[in-house]
């Protein structure tokens, strides 16, 4: 069973390449899911994969790309019936 986590990342995380970095990092780790900007300035992501890869992704999200300043990563477990295919960028909400 794949581990599933919903992340909300706050700080200076928009306009610094955070979404592209998230997609590249998630694909490198073999994860599926999505990432999107939120109107409140945060970045939101759903990550799905094996425990080790999800843990590595969470640690990476706490650092972010070079230009980002991550203040907080809120993590909520989720239990989806239908798992995402690939790792994509969704429209801002």
Q: Helices in the chain by DSSP H: which ranges?
A: 18-28, 51-63
One of 36, 37, 62, 63 is an active-site residue; which one?
37
Alpha carbon 1 to chain centroid distance? 19
Catalytic residue at 37?
A: yes
19 catalytic? Reply is yes
Q: Residue holding tokens 């390449």?
A: 17
DSSP lists the bridge partners of residue 88 as: 34
Q: Which helix (H) or strand (E) holds 43?
A: strand 43-49
- How many residues comprise the chain? 93
Q: Which of 19, 28, 66, 72 is catalytic?
A: 19
Active site residues: 19, 37
């Amino acid at each position: 069973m794949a581990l599933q986590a919903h992340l909300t990342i706050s700080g200076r995380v928009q306009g610094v390449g955070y979404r592209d970095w998230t997609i590249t990092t998630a694909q490198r780790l073999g994860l599926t899911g999505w990432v999107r900007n939120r109107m409140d300035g945060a970045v939101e992501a759903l990550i799905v994969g094996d425990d080790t890869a999800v843990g590595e992704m969470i640690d990476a999200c706490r650092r972010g790309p070079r230009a980002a300043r991550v203040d907080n990563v809120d993590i909520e477990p989720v239990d989806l019936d239908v798992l995402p295919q690939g790792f994509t960028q969704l429209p801002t909400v």
